[in-house]
Chain A
Amino acid sequence: MSQIPKNLKYTPAHEWVLDEGEGVYAVGITDFAQQQLGDVVFIELPEVGSTIQLNDSIAVVESVKAASDVYAPLTGEVVAVNEKLIDTPETLNNDPYQEGWFFKVKATSDTNFDHLLDADAYEQECQ
């Protein structure tokens, strides 16, 4: 079974979002997603300072099996990316919710969070 922490919000496209306070949100992909992908070998991340729009394709995960897009769960500016994923992409398989975060985004002030799912609703998506 895959883990779905209660403190995170989710998208149906298998991203997770962590509210870090002051309008900054960490984003990654879920345990379910990494299990589906299998061994991850390359990850492309957005650039710090870039502006991302909700649902834009902003990162790519290449596993041995397939390439998969990661979509922006929020609109805002990228304020940090996890460089560690570039050198050790297997971090995503080992620890998708902590060490395996992708980037942090400073959300625009009018950001709406209604489209994000709580853990229970996301679990339904994974059925």
Chain B
Amino acid sequence: MDKTPLYTQHVEAGAKMVDFHGWEMPIHYGSQIKEHEAVRSHAGLFDVSHMTIVDIHGPESKAFLQFLLANDVDKLKSPGKALYTALLNEEGGILDDLIVYQLDPGYRLVVNCATKESDLRWMQEHASDFAVEVRELDNFAMIAIQGPKARELTSQVLPEQSERIQTLKLFEGFAKGRWFIARTGYTGEDGLEVMLPAKDASDFWSQLVNSGIQPCGLGARDTLRLEAGLNLYGTDMDESVSPLASNLEWTVAWEPASRHFLGREAITSEKEAGVKQVLVGLVIDERAIMRSGQKVLINGEEIGIITSGTFSPTLQKSIAMARIENTATETVEVEIRDKSFKAKVVKLPFVRKGKATF
């Protein structure tokens, strides 16, 4: 199994390690609820070095990405700016979701580890029509520092970058040597994601831990992202569904109409015909927990399925994302362990700045 540059530190800190798509990753360091709460109230630290970093260089980088991605990198107006986007196949199905950063020169993509091989193949295949080079970065680590105190505490660890970190806008980053520091994340809190050479990762991690930031595993990462209404690739979306059926239409740049991108025709037809399925948020007040795969019904008739469900530590009740028929219903039933529970359909996210949004 693959190990990140921080593997030894996780084990020494008592982390429970699990196989995550071939990577040995920490699921928690004792209590995932405590880790979750640390991120909502203070700051937490995540090793996300399993994610894949791909740099795009060459004179036609921009044109290539405008063709490859459903969102439009023309929105990136200066180096460091970031954009969230889906990578679609010609049928409009989601091959992956990713963040693209503008570099100086070129672009950087951060994609999921489970889809690394297929993403790279897909990019290489389409890159052959453009004057670009697609290159995966090796020997890099990626560390996410998330929570209301994340930027302040990271600034103390990196005093020379403090001013830059404090003035970063959302979805903006900057390069410093081979380091790249961006104000992005996957928790719904303020915070940073730092890409850095693998050899620097261990010292940086230790300094962050020593400054009082709680190490967090994939367990807390999952409950945090779900509260924040952020999709998980492979769970809430995959090749069989479009961004329109995945609550991601906001990431599709329809304008300019002249921009041709992979999947455009298919999702245009889908939109014109009326989107059949939508991804919604569900909440139940009773003492039961929604889990992926459970059926969603209206008056006993199945209308969809839970894609992700969990217990929300912030709301102290179960929340879920479900893909259901496109109806205007406000309540549904969820079948949990042979019993039917009433669930409210709510707008995502469930939690914003540590508070319920509904």
Asked if B108 is at the interface of the complex by the 8 Å CB criterion, the answer is no
A21 to chain B, nearest CB (A): 34
In B5-61, which residues have CB < 8 Å from any A CB?
Answer: 16, 27-28, 31-33
Binary flags per residue of A18-43, CB closer than 8 Å to B gives 1, else 0: 00000000000000000100110110
Contact of B337 among A41, A60, A65, A93 (CB under 8 A): A60
Contact of A42 among B33, B288, B310 (CB under 8 A): B288
Asked if A62 is at the interface of the complex by the 8 Å CB criterion, the answer is yes
Report which B residues bind A (CB closer than 8 A): 16, 27-28, 31-33, 219, 223, 287-289, 291, 310-311, 313, 337
Report which A residues bind B (CB closer than 8 A): 35, 38-39, 41-42, 44, 60, 62, 64-67, 90, 93
Q: List 23 A-B contacts (CB under 8 A).
A: A38-B27, A38-B28, A38-B31, A38-B32, A38-B219, A39-B31, A39-B32, A39-B33, A41-B33, A41-B289, A42-B287, A42-B289, A62-B288, A64-B32, A64-B33, A64-B223, A64-B311, A64-B313, A66-B291, A67-B289, A67-B337, A90-B33, A93-B31
Chain A neighbourhood of B33, CB < 8 A = 39, 41, 64, 90
B312 to chain A, nearest CB (A): 9
Chain A neighbourhood of B28, CB < 8 A = 38
Chain B neighbourhood of A41, CB < 8 A = 33, 289, 311
Q: Closest residue to B311 on the A side, CB-wise?
A: A41
Chain A neighbourhood of B311, CB < 8 A = 41-42, 62, 64
When the two chains form their complex, are residues A64 and B291 in contact, meaning their CB atoms are under 8 A apart? Answer: no
Chain A neighbourhood of B289, CB < 8 A = 41-42, 62, 67
Chain B neighbourhood of A65, CB < 8 A = 219
Chain A neighbourhood of B310, CB < 8 A = 64
* 19 additional contacts (CB under 8 A) given A41-B311, A90-B33: A38-B27, A38-B28, A38-B31, A38-B32, A38-B219, A39-B31, A39-B32, A41-B289, A42-B311, A44-B287, A62-B288, A64-B33, A64-B310, A64-B311, A64-B313, A65-B219, A66-B291, A67-B289, A67-B291
Chain B neighbourhood of A62, CB < 8 A = 288-289, 311
Chain A neighbourhood of B287, CB < 8 A = 42, 44
Q: Closest residue to B287 on the A side, CB-wise?
A: A42
Main secondary structure of the interface of A (DSSP, over half): mixed
Complex Cα distance, B140 from A120, in Å, reads 45
Chain B neighbourhood of A44, CB < 8 A = 287
Complex Cα distance, B233 from A12, in Å, reads 36
A126 to chain B, nearest CB (A): 15
Complex Cα distance, B32 from A93, in Å, reads 12
Chain A neighbourhood of B31, CB < 8 A = 38-39, 93
Chain A neighbourhood of B337, CB < 8 A = 60, 67
Q: Closest residue to B217 on the A side, CB-wise?
A: A38
Chain B neighbourhood of A67, CB < 8 A = 289, 291, 337
B71 to chain A, nearest CB (A): 32
A28 to chain B, nearest CB (A): 19
B16 to chain A, nearest CB (A): 8
B294 to chain A, nearest CB (A): 11
Q: Closest residue to A41 on the B side, CB-wise?
A: B311
Complex Cα distance, B222 from A73, in Å, reads 34
Complex Cα distance, B16 from A44, in Å, reads 26
A31 to chain B, nearest CB (A): 14
Chain B neighbourhood of A39, CB < 8 A = 31-33
Chain B neighbourhood of A38, CB < 8 A = 27-28, 31-32, 219
Complex Cα distance, B33 from A42, in Å, reads 13
B102 to chain A, nearest CB (A): 37
